[in-house]
Structure 1
Amino acid sequence: MSMLIRAGKKSFGVWMIAISLLLTLSACGTSGGTNGGAASGTAGGKDTTVPAAKPQEPAKEVPKELPTINVAYMPDIHGATPIVLGEEKGYFKEAGVKINAVKFLSGPPEFQAMAAGDIDIAYIGPGATFLSAQGKGNIIAVDSLNTGDMVYATKKSGIKDWKDLKGKTVGVPKGTSGEMILNLGIKKGGLKPEDVNAVNMDVAGAVSAFVAGKVDAVAIWSPYTSEIEKQVGKDNIVKLGDNKMFFPEYVFPQSWVVNPKFLKEKPELVEKFLAAWVKANDYRIKNIEETIKLTAKYTQVPEDSLKVQVDTTEWIESKKQVDYFKDGTVIKWYENLEKLFVENGKLTEVVKGDTFVSPAPFLKVVK
């Protein structure tokens, strides 16, 4: 029996040690509690309070990603410069948007990209305006008025006047402002469209075909006209006409258009884009030399070619554009172009300009 008592005391002692360890571990665990407070107790009459943990610093806010707008531009002083300046001067960042700039060489492919949902906002020349009139893009700003569309003939073709285009082959990117001038010239020469072999080519193809002598004439615009002059030589070219020949009956506005769906669903982003665009537009007009250098660097188009474009452009300051929107001048410009599109079969009828010209975002931004 004494042996059992001794065994029991030994067992009891082991249990007491185990319990003591558990209590100690428990006390240690409490000091690191998630509430950040202090764990306290006494041992042998001594205060064993554990100092409170330092409060954690609040997590740094991760900068929110700015919303992105997919913008179609053309590599020239009109269609690229607002994007270049908007990025270079920080106008888009100030407005709270990012720009994904996508290069195009003419308007119709841009409208196709908008229809597919790949492009939100685009720059177009006068020739693609009929697609806006068809409801495929709302005009939200007038970039400028253009006088740089031209029809050139090779000297060896024997073409000296519009009437001489009869039976000749002309390279032209259809649906562009170049085609508009060509059609006006055909009419001025007393011809019908079917009298001329107008071959649809992309911009690069039309320029190459003219330089290689594969077409008799080309309907194109600046700065590509400058490139043609460099490669062929001015002495080997006959200029049949440009936009100025048809003033004041026709004015040729170059525009910024928005995907109708994008305008409906994200009007605030359209306004942000325009807020930056307005600053870029006005800066361009006042600082044209710097603008040329920055645009040349971005587009890889020679500065000389861009300077030629400046000479064939009528710029419109943003506040002046507000006046043109309010007094109906802009609407008249586009409705007048529609008449030309009806004559050429691009449109079946003239629709009211306010069905595809949307000045509200611009007027809201420029007060």
Structure 2
Amino acid sequence: MVYKSQSVIKLPLAALALSLTLLISACGSGSGSTNANAPQTPTPTAKTEEKVQTINFAYMPNMGGAAPIAIGEEKGFFKEAGIKMNAVKFLSGPPEFQAMAAGEIDIAYIGPGATFLSAQGQGNIIGIVSLGKSDMVFATKKSGIKEFKDLKGKTVGVPKGTSGEMVLNLGIEKAGLKLSDVNIVNMDVAGAVTAYVAGKVDAVAIWSPYTSEIEKQIGKENMVKLGDNSSFFPEYSFPSSWVVNPKFLKEKPELVDKFMKAMAKTTEYKISHSDEAVKLTAAYTQVPEDSLKQELESIDWIDSKKLATVFKDGTAKQWFDNLQKLFVANGKMDSIVPSEKFMTTDPAIKAVNP
């Protein structure tokens, strides 16, 4: 994976020499003597540039993952924090963790479905972006499926290791079926969308904005919604998070603090300026504005103060503990790990109460 390198502004030697010559000439003109008490012109420095540090950041092209980048860049929140964000697009969480393990990504946005990889020690959760219900399971009209129980013997396309798979598994369990009763096919996001639209699968487990794109292509009347995250509230909440590479956190904790301070500003801005946030995110991701607006309907943002509160009072721990029960049930984890072991809460709390 190739990243854009940060350029450092350097003054050409010829220009520097000319500047010094002019300065000496100016000081020596007039009486022909120098004045030791005269104000000296300071030599230009690159202090601002020296302070800027790069973060390789993994985002997804949706309101949760991309809006903070679009807003932070446009409003200068990252620049104020002394950060240069090298943003790299991903479509799901597991590949982001692979990139972190390779040292290519420092901090990433993940949906709830990839949280099990944090629990396995591959990344520390440092912030919660939102609680959502944008993960949905849709059947095709021609399949004859009307409820989760009708999935028995049917083929479902889903990117495994994602929140879409979690909702699918919960629906199958709630219907009294076993996972082996359903032909679950692992597909990447683009493949799942294409297969559903082409009628090559009976159902798909996917999330916004891809659900909106499917609707545009085949029409809402040809989609049969079986359920979404909210079908399993309040027992299960589905937090999307910021997760940091453990090595990066250990080596550059002060940079993680700067990141969370900048993100606190982007969070407050996107919540109070939702229309502008949609426009900026659409321009940044090339995802249509109407798709992003529709996504907002399924998002419960976690503002900075609420984040600090749920980190301190144990609510966040409960959210992640419950998610782990699902991961154990579907075989992604052998046992539940105390959530505080993979949550690093100080940077978010300090961002609100420095």
TM-score tier, shorter chain, comes to: 0.7 to 0.9
Q: What are the residue-to-residue correspondences of 1:197-216 with 2, within 5 Å?
A: 197-216=183-202
Partner of 1:60: 44
Percent identical pairs in the alignment equals 68
Partner of 1:343: 329
Q: What are the residue-to-residue correspondences of 1:7-46 with 2, within 5 Å?
A: none
Does residue 236 of structure 2 align to residue 250 of structure 1? yes
Does residue 249 of structure 2 align to residue 263 of structure 1? yes
Are the counterparts in 1 of residues 304 and 348 from structure 2 also a CA contact under 8 Å? no
Does residue 283 of structure 2 align to residue 297 of structure 1? yes
Aligned to 2:223, which of 209, 226, 237?
A: 237
Does residue 299 of structure 2 align to residue 307 of structure 1? no
Identify unmatched segments of 5+ residues in structure 1.
1-35, 37-49
Does residue 156 of structure 2 align to residue 167 of structure 1? no
> What amino acid sits opposite 2:44 in the alignment?
K
> What amino acid sits opposite 2:290 in the alignment?
D
Partner of 1:4: none
How far off is 1:59 after superposition? 3.0
Q: Once the two structures are superposed, what CA deviation does each residue of 1:65-108 show, in whole Å capped at 9, x if it has no partner?
A: 41100000000100001111111110011111110000000000
Does residue 92 of structure 2 align to residue 106 of structure 1? yes
188-197 vs 108-117, which deviates more? 188-197
The separation in 2 between residues aligned to 1:149 and 1:61, in whole angstroms, is: 50
Q: How many residues end up aligned between the 2 structures?
A: 319
Aligned to 2:207, which of 221, 225, 246?
A: 221
> What amino acid sits opposite 2:210 in the alignment?
Y
Does residue 344 of structure 2 align to residue 358 of structure 1? yes
Which protein shows a greater Rg? 1
The separation in 2 between residues aligned to 1:149 and 1:246, in whole angstroms, is: 12
The separation in 1 between residues aligned to 2:344 and 2:299, in whole angstroms, is: 23
Aligned to 1:284, which of 267, 270, 278?
A: 270
Are the counterparts in 1 of residues 126 and 244 from structure 2 also a CA contact under 8 Å? yes
Runs of 4+ in 1 over 4 A off after TM superposition: 50-58
How far off is 1:137 after superposition? 0.5
| Counterpart secondary structure, 1:268 | helix
| Counterpart secondary structure, 2:117 | helix
Aligned to 1:193, which of 167, 172, 179?
A: 179
How far off is 1:189 after superposition? 1.4
How far off is 1:234 after superposition? 1.1
Does residue 82 of structure 2 align to residue 96 of structure 1? yes
Q: TM-score, normalised by structure 2?
A: 0.88
How far off is 1:366 after superposition? 1.1
How far off is 1:62 after superposition? 2.8
> What amino acid sits opposite 2:46 in the alignment?
V
The separation in 2 between residues aligned to 1:165 and 1:51, in whole angstroms, is: 95
Aligned-pair Cα RMSD in Å: 1.5
Does residue 133 of structure 2 align to residue 153 of structure 1? no
Partner of 2:127: 141
How far off is 1:54 after superposition? 8.4
The separation in 1 between residues aligned to 2:44 and 2:306, in whole angstroms, is: 45
